[in-house]
Amino acid sequence: MIEHRPALFLDRDGVLNVDKGYVSRIEDFEWVEGVAQTIKTFNERGWFVFVVTNQSGIARGYYTEEDMTQLHAWMLDELAKDGALIDQIYHCPFHEAGEIARYRKDSFDRKPKPGMLLQAMADFPVKREASFLIGDKPTDIEAARAAGVGAFLFRGGVLSEFAEWALASFEDGVR
């Protein structure tokens, strides 16, 4: 029998890193304070940790999917140095107004639609009712609710403090 576990879903820009607009290079990446601690703490609790990120900069031609993949590999390596593990990063490179033809389309994965969260729950044995997302935009919150998980709007500060507050609120029935 597979044991289902809760999942912490995290948006990327504005939650893991300071949102400077279409961050695609290591030299432009600035961690939000408390990210590694947040992920490590949830790892230690036995939770899955997923990143779900819209990456319309790919469709817009600002950077390539390879650029994003390299940045994500660097992020994972940096987090691992602190004992923090992201189970999977899900991204959506599509946008209806994209400049790059193969990425110019509507997508069920693009938040506020729930595709990336639903895919994570299909790929891993996630306990949906015990899971929540931290995002920095209303579209993140809409995607989480559409996927049937809790949602909390992060407006900056120390992520580890916010995540502990969100977990306590979630356990108290705030969704």
Q: Which residues are catalytic?
A: 11, 13
CA distance linking residue 9 with residue 151, whole number of Å: 9
What whole-number distance in Å separates Cα of residue 22 and Cα of residue 39?
23
Rounded Cα–Cα distance for residues 59 and 119 (Å): 21
**Residue 24 vs residues 21, 65, 72, 174: alpha-carbon distances, Å:** 9, 9, 9, 34
DSSP codes joined into one string, 71-127: HHHHHHHHHHHTT---SEEEEE---TT-SSGGG-S--TTSTTS-HHHHHHHHHS-B-
Query: Which residues in 83-119 are b (16+ Cβ under 10 Å) and which e?
Result: ebebbebbbbbbbeebebeebeeebebbbebbbbbbb
Which helix (DSSP H) or strand (DSSP E) does residue 4 occupy? none
